[in-house]
Amino acid sequence: MGARFPLTAALLLTFALAGWSVHAQTVQTAAPSTVPAAPQAATPDLPRVRLVATGGTISNKTGGRLTAEELVGLMPSVGRYARPEFEQFSNLASSQLTLDQWVALSRRINQLFKEDPGVAGIVVTSGTDTLEELAYFLDLTIRSAKPVVVVGSMRNPSTLGYEGAANLLEGFRVAAEPSARGRGVMVVLNDEINAAREVTKTDALRLNTFQTRGYGILGVVDSDRVMFYRNVEKKHTADSEFDINAIASLPRVDVILTYQGATGDLIKAAVDQGAKGIIIAGAGAGATSGTQGEGIAYALEKGVFVATTTRTGSGRIAARQRPANALPPPAGQRTRSDRAIAGEDLAPVKARLLLMLALTKTQDGAEVQRMFIEY
């Protein structure tokens, strides 16, 4: 920390001399390694955009992770579009962040919008592995129409062809863009803007990994301008009913995959371990296999919610439709349960997040189903 202050102070002085308005705040610190290049001076009437850095490959340089301020320093031309600010939330791989950290991150972003009405938008850096989950969680819990843009990169800063700086700059451009307001949390990589609710990492290594199957991109970031082509119809951000400040912790919800001859024992085990919800990543239009039907009946009888989704990667599970080949419940037990939820078109991992948030508000199956239709 002792070495950090002079570096930060020197940077702020440099930026101040360059006519910048840069505010740095470190929520969780990470060791800085190099001094960023001074970005082009920004004019005072440009939008203020704040980077909240969480880690990931975009900052995972050989020998030490890039800090938020170093990431900003990678974009010499950012001053043409925005007045950048930055803070370090964490510096971890995406899958290492805990759900409690996600809650804290969402609270922090909501706080920034509330306490600093002058901020135009926020860019969040994230590892790409679970980026789509974080983005949808923020989409459901950030109550502002201002743009929140999640960016990452597939190549790290020590690799030839590192695309992180370009993705970050494009994230800043979208966050500074007035026409980006009210579109929900967006994911920007590879010159494309995708909706947090819809996007999926589709390839382990390729640069064009983030795709929205079925619906396509929201827009593009080109050299001349940011261009949007469509909106997301579902509720999000400013219209969300989920208040992150009222949530102490998220209930356990597990995702269970359907495959040939799958056993219901895994579902029962999750229930016995305290799961309050189960997401079935079913085959096709939500079919289960093997003895999973028995596991589902067990879960429903124990008061656990079971939402059916599809493992196919796109398509919709119709509301109130039981899985096509679910076993009938044992004689004498209820044949229908309002805790059996149709997961609509959400990917299993995103249905999990919605069910977690829904269960912090209600135990009424009809209400949970409404949320799955609306969000």
Secondary structure, 3-state, the chain: CCCHHHHHHHHHHHHHHCCCCCCEEECCCCCCCCCCCCCCCCCCCCCEEEEEECCCHHHEECCEECCHHHHHHCCCCHHHCCEEEEEECCCCCHHHCCHHHHHHHHHHHHHHHHHCCCEEEEEEECCCCCHHHHHHHHHHHCCCCCCEEEECCCCCCCCCCCCHHHHHHHHHHHHCCHHHCCCCCEEEECCEEEECCCCEECCCCCCCCEECCCCCCCEEECCCCEEECCCCCCCCHHHCCCCHHHCCCCCCEEEEECCCCCCCHHHHHHHHCCCCEEEEEEECCCECCCCHHHHHHHHHHCCCEEEEEECCCCCCECCCCCCCCCCCCCCCCCCCCCCEEECECCCHHHHHHHHHHHHCCCCCHHHHHHHHHHC
Of 128 and 288, CB closest to ligand ASP: 128
Binding residue (CB under 6 A) for ligand ASP from 14, 25, 129, 228:
129
Of 93 and 185, CB closest to ligand ASP: 93
Compute the distance between CA of residue 242 and CA of residue 180 in angstroms, rounded to an integer: 22
Compute the distance between CA of residue 151 and CA of residue 138 in angstroms, rounded to an integer: 13
Q: How many residues bind ligand ASP (CB under 6 A)?
A: 10
First to last CA, the chain: 43
| Residue 337 touches ligand ASP, criterion: CB under 6 A | no
For 289-328, give one letter per residue: b (16+ CB within 10 A) or e: bbbbbbbbbbbbeeebbbbbbbbeeeeebeeeebbeebbe
- The CB-of-185 to ligand ASP minimum distance in angstroms stands at 17
One-letter amino acid identity for 102? W
Binding residue (CB under 6 A) for ligand ASP from 26, 94, 190, 237:
94
| Residue 338 touches ligand ASP, criterion: CB under 6 A | no
- The CB-of-14 to ligand ASP minimum distance in angstroms stands at 29
Q: Which stretch binds ligand ASP (CB under 6 A): 93-101, 163-171, 302-310, 339-347?
A: 93-101
| Residue 152 touches ligand ASP, criterion: CB under 6 A | yes
Of 67 and 337, CB closest to ligand ASP: 67
57 carries an active-site annotation:
yes
| Residue 157 touches ligand ASP, criterion: CB under 6 A | no
For 231-244, give one letter per residue: b (16+ CB within 10 A) or e: ebebbbbeebebeb
- The CB-of-95 to ligand ASP minimum distance in angstroms stands at 6
Structure tokens at 372: 């799955």
| Residue 127 touches ligand ASP, criterion: CB under 6 A | yes
| Residue 128 touches ligand ASP, criterion: CB under 6 A | yes
- The CB-of-161 to ligand ASP minimum distance in angstroms stands at 14
| Residue 54 touches ligand ASP, criterion: CB under 6 A | no
| Residue 93 touches ligand ASP, criterion: CB under 6 A | yes
Of 152 and 264, CB closest to ligand ASP: 152
Cβ-contact 120, 175 below 8 angstroms: yes
| Residue 56 touches ligand ASP, criterion: CB under 6 A | yes
- The CB-of-214 to ligand ASP minimum distance in angstroms stands at 24
Q: Which stretch binds ligand ASP (CB under 6 A): 102-110, 122-130, 297-305, 331-339?
A: 122-130
| Residue 57 touches ligand ASP, criterion: CB under 6 A | yes
Query: Binding mask 208-227 vs ligand ASP (x if CB under 6 A, - otherwise)?
Result: --------------------
Given 54, 57, 130, 258, the catalytic residue: 57
Of 91 and 258, CB closest to ligand ASP: 91
- The CB-of-99 to ligand ASP minimum distance in angstroms stands at 16
Q: Which stretch binds ligand ASP (CB under 6 A): 109-117, 121-129, 249-257, 329-337?
A: 121-129
Of 60 and 110, CB closest to ligand ASP: 60
Of 92 and 120, CB closest to ligand ASP: 92
Residue nearest to ligand ASP (CB): 127
Residues that bind ligand ASP (CB under 6 A): 56-57, 93-95, 127-129, 152, 154
Catalytic residues: 57
